[in-house]
Structure 1
Amino acid sequence: MSDSKPTEASSILFEDTFNGRELDRSLWNVEGPVFWVNREAQAYIDSPGTVRLLPEGSIAGATGGVLELRARYSAGFQTPDGRSVDFVSGRIDTRDKFDFTHGRASARIRLPDTEGVWPAFWMLGNGSWPETGEIDILEYVGESDWVGVAVHGPGYSGETPLVNKYFFEDGATAADWHIYEVEWDPETILFKVDGRTIYRVTRPMVELYGKWRFDTPKHLILNLAIGGEYPYKVNRFKAPYYGLPPASADLIRREGAAIQIDWVRVEKI
C-alpha cells in the first residue's frame, strides 16, 4: 500500500511521524475531562494510558513510531464538572499551534474493530461552530467494512446532507492500515482513501444549504470517542451506554480499544 509521500519537501506545511518518546506538545494540545459533547460515554484525559507514542517496530505494518489514542475502562471516573463516566480516552488537536487554509491533509491510520467506538480525523475552524466550518476526513462507528466523511457549516450542520460512506473492497477492513486524505481548495473539498477519490463536495453543493465556510483556517483533530450520537444512529443501543453495545463495553473493559496513527501530514497543493 502506498505511503503517499509528498513529491517535494518544500510542499510540507506540517508533519508528525511520531518517532519521539513523547507527544510533541509544541505541535499538539491534549484535551482534558471537562470537554464533553454528543452524549459520548468517555471523558478525555491527558495520560500516558490514553495518549502515548509507541516505538518503531512495536506495531506491525507501521513505517516508524506510532501515536496511539486508547480508550480504557475506569469505573465511576469523576470529571471536574461532576460527570461520572466508566471510560476514559484520548483527544488531541493543533488549535493555536497550527492551522491552514487550503491544501492536503492526510494521515495513515488503523482503527479498532469494535462496534460503537467513534474515532475521527477531522478539522475545525477557529471560531464558533458551525459558523467557521468542519471537515470530517474520517469518521468511524466501529463497523469495520466502512468509514464516513462529511462537511458541516451554517445550514448544513449536525444532520448534514453533505456526507458519504466508503465501503472497503477486496477483503480490506478499517482494522487495516489506510491513508485518509482531504484535498481542499477555494471551490472543492475532495476526500480520498488510499489515493482513491470517494467523495467530492463543491461550493455550489454547499451553497444550496448555506454559506461556504471553507476559506478560513482550520486546525487538525484526532480523537477516540466511545458511544454517542453517531454510533447510536447506526446501532440504536441506549443502555447501559448510549451508542455502545454491551459486547463492545465488555471488550473495552478487558482490553481497551485504540486508534493508531502512523503519521499526519499537511501539504500545499
Structure 2
Amino acid sequence: MGGVGRGALVFSDEFNGSVVDAAKWTVRDEERTEPSRTDGFRWWYKPSTVRVAEGNLAIDIAALGHGVYAGGRIDSHGKFDFTYGTIEFRIRFPPTQGHLSAAWLQASRGLADGARNAARGAEIDLIESNFAGDEYTATIHYGGYGAGHIKSAQRVNAPGLHSGYHTIGLSWSPSTLEFRYDGKPVRTVTDPALISTVAEFPILSQEILQWAQGSIADAPLDRASTLYVDYVRVWQ
C-alpha cells in the first residue's frame, strides 16, 4: 500500500471498527485550559467526545457545564513513533468557532527545555484549523513550553478546507520537512534548526483555544462541530 516514493506502510488506522483501537491509541482525559485564558471558559480533553463510527474517527465538541467545554485527543505515545518518513491524514474539518482541529506530531521524549533548535525534538503541527476561512497554520515548536519556547509558523491557503475531506501530509527527512495539503506542497523547511532528528508520535485533537477565531459560545455543539478522520497512514 505504500505510495510512489513513500516506502513501506509501517502504521495505519482506517477506523473501520466500532471503538478506538487501544493497541494503537490512547484517548486522553485531562483539563487543558490555557493559563493565559481571559474569557472565563475552561476546557478538557474527554473520552466521551471520542468515538469511531461509519469508518471514521469522530471527535466531538461538547458542553460539560456552564462555561466548561470538552474537546478530545487521541495519540500513539508509547505505542507507535517514527523518525523520518511520510505521514498522511484524511480529514473532514468542522467550521472554526472558538475551537480548532489539529493533526500533529510530538517528540516522544518531549521538547528539550531551552534547546536552541529542533534537533532534540519538536511539536510539528501539520495543521491547526484556527481560522474561520479556508486557511490554517503549519507550525514547528521547540525549546520547551516555558520561557525558552520558540515557534516557526506559516499561514497556509487551503481551498475548501471546511467542505468535504482533505489530505494533510508531511514528508520528513534529515534535510527537509515538506507539508502538503491535498497532495500539494504548502510549506517546505530546509533549515536544520527546524528539523527534528528524534522519534515523534502522531496526535489528532479538537482544541477549544481562545485564539481560535470565533467564540465557543456560538458553536452548535452538535455533529456540525465534529472532526472526522478517515485514516492515518505512515510510510518509511
Q: TM-score, normalised by structure 1?
A: 0.74
Asked if structure 1 preserves the Cα contact closer than 8 Å seen for 2:97 and 2:218, the reply is no
Gaps of 5+ in 1: 56-64, 77-84, 207-211, 236-243
Give the structure 2 partner of residue 90 of structure 1. Answer: 72
Trace 1:122-133 onto structure 2 (pairs within 5 A).
122-131=104-113, 132-133=121-122
Q: Which runs of 4+ in 1 moved over 3 A?
A: 7-10, 34-41, 155-159, 252-256
Trace 1:87-126 onto structure 2 (pairs within 5 A).
87-126=69-108
Q: How big is the shift at 1:258?
A: 1.1
Give the structure 2 partner of residue 183 of structure 1. Answer: 171
Is 2:184 aligned against 1:196? Answer: yes
Q: Secondary structure at the match of 2:226?
A: strand
Structure 1 residues 30 and 36, CA gap change in structure 2 (3 angstroms): farther
Q: Secondary structure at the match of 2:220?
A: helix
Q: Secondary structure at the match of 1:249?
A: helix
The CA distance in 2 between the partners of 1:26 and 1:122, in whole Å, is: 19
The CA distance in 2 between the partners of 1:219 and 1:177, in whole Å, is: 23
Equivalent position to 1:146, from 135, 150, 156:
135
Which is strand-richer, 1 or 2? 2
When Rg is computed on C-alpha atoms for both structures, the one with the higher figure is 1
The CA distance in 1 between the partners of 2:21 and 2:82, in whole Å, is: 19
Equivalent position to 2:220, from 210, 231, 252:
252
The CA distance in 2 between the partners of 1:9 and 1:253, in whole Å, is: 38
Give the structure 2 partner of residue 81 of structure 1. Answer: none
Give the structure 2 partner of residue 266 of structure 1. Answer: 234
Give the structure 2 partner of residue 6 of structure 1. Answer: 3
Equivalent position to 1:163, from 145, 153, 170:
153
Is 2:45 aligned against 1:44? Answer: yes
Structure 1 residues 41 and 145, CA gap change in structure 2 (3 angstroms): farther
Q: Secondary structure at the match of 1:252?
A: coil
Q: How big is the shift at 1:176?
A: 2.4
How many percent of aligned residue pairs carry the same amino acid? Answer: 27
Which is helix-richer, 1 or 2? 1
How large is the RMSD of aligned CA atoms in angstroms?
Answer: 2.7
Q: TM-score, normalised by structure 2?
A: 0.84
Q: How big is the shift at 1:115?
A: 2.5
Letter aligned with residue 196 of structure 1: K
Is 2:135 aligned against 1:135? Answer: no
Give the structure 2 partner of residue 79 of structure 1. Answer: none
Q: How big is the shift at 1:128?
A: 3.2
